[in-house]
């Protein structure tokens, strides 16, 4: 049995989980999420918990078992608490600002970079250097954070760029001087 897949997913009060024909739908106080999954797997909801079960132990099915359970757990967490990622900007003259719902970055290019907020994701800027990306879908929040970071990844010599909060960037020594 999969160690992740066999764990039941607790369903808090106020959250409704509907499962039908390879589709799961989770509704909660923050919104609604839908996800398709393999029709061979079954999800049983009883006593405030959801349990994912598989028909056989072939490797592909075992992998899907853990995946579907993790997706369901993330959906339940997303509609109750939501997800957020923080990005930090480091570098002289590097800053971020909000332009309506869109994010505007000044990160060393000759022009400001405008990033539209994807559906279900919200950007907020604290000060000029901290970007908060929040939403109910874990995948969309992570993807939006990766796309913002991709505009100026941290470089190893001076450490300038956009990094995740708590990310450690290994620094390299610059050119060695001549004798």
Residue 179 — pLDDT band, cuts 50, 70, 90? low
pLDDT at residue number 27: 95
Residue with tokens 């909660």: 28
Q: Is residue 3 part of a domain?
A: no
Q: Of 20, 46, 80, which one is at a domain's C-terminal end? A: 80
Task: Indicate whether 63 and 93 sit together in one domain.
Answer: no
What is the tally of structural domains in the chain? 2
Residue 92 — pLDDT band, cuts 50, 70, 90? very high
Q: Is residue 174 part of a domain?
A: no
Q: Is the pLDDT of residue 61 over 70?
A: yes
Position with higher pLDDT, 176 vs 159: 159
Q: How far apart are CA 33 and CA 134, in angstroms?
A: 15
Average pLDDT over residues 76-87: 96
Look up the domain containing 87 and give its range.
Answer: 83-164
Q: Is the pLDDT of residue 1 over 90?
A: no
C-alpha dist (Å) from residue 157 to 37, 160, 169: 45, 8, 10
Q: Is residue 105 part of a domain?
A: yes
Burial status of residue 25 (CB atoms within 10 A of its CB: 0-12, 13-18, 19 or more):
middle
How does pLDDT run across 114-156, given as a tens digit for each residue? 999 999 999 999 999 999 999 999 999 999 999 999 999 999 9
C-alpha dist (Å) from residue 98 to 71, 102, 112, 147, 154: 31, 6, 12, 16, 22
Phi–psi pair at 83, nearest 5 degrees: -125, 150
Q: Is residue 100 part of a domain?
A: yes
Average pLDDT over residues 4-8: 87
Q: Is residue 20 part of a domain?
A: yes
pLDDT at residue number 2: 60
Task: Indicate whether 106 and 147 sit together in one domain.
Answer: yes
Task: Indicate whether 58 and 44 sit together in one domain.
Answer: yes
Task: Indicate whether 45 and 65 sit together in one domain.
Answer: yes
- Per residue, the 3-state secondary structure of 7-66, as one string, reads CCEECCCCCEEEEECCEEEEEECCEEEEEECCCCCEEEEECCEEEEECCCCCHHHHHHHH
Is this structure's pTM higher than 0.85? Answer: yes
How does pLDDT run across 70-80, given as a tens digit for each residue? 999 999 999 99
Q: Is residue 73 part of a domain?
A: yes
CATH number of domain containing 114: 3.90.930.12
Task: Indicate whether 102 and 151 sit together in one domain.
Answer: yes
Q: How far apart are CA 121 and CA 138, in angstroms?
A: 10
How does pLDDT run across 101-116, given as a tens digit for each residue? 999 999 999 999 999 9
Give the DSSP letter of residue 145.
H
Q: Is residue 169 part of a domain?
A: no
Q: Is residue 170 part of a domain?
A: no
- Dig out the tokens for 175 from the structure: 């050119």
């Amino acid at each position: 049995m999969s160690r992740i897949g066999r764990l039941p997913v607790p369903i808090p009060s106020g959250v409704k989980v509907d499962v039908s024909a390879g589709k799961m739908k989770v509704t909660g106080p923050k919104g609604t999420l839908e996800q398709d999954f393999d029709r061979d797997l079954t999800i049983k909801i009883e006593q405030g918990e959801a349990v994912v079960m598989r028909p056989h132990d072939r490797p592909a099915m075992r992998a899907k078992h853990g995946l579907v359970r993790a997706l369901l757990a993330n959906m339940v967490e997303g509609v109750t608490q939501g997800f957020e990622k923080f990005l930090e900007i480091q570098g002289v003259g590097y800053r971020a600002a909000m332009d309506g719902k869109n994010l505007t970055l000044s990160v060393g290019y000759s022009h400001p970079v405008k990033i539209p907020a994807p559906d279900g994701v919200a950007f907020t800027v604290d000060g000029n250097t901290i970007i908060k990306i929040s939403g109910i879908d874990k995948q969309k929040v992570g993807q939006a954070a990766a796309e913002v970071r991709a505009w100026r990844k941290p470089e190893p010599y001076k450490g300038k760029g956009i990094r995740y909060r708590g990310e450690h960037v290994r620094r390299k020594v610059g050119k060695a001087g001549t004798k």
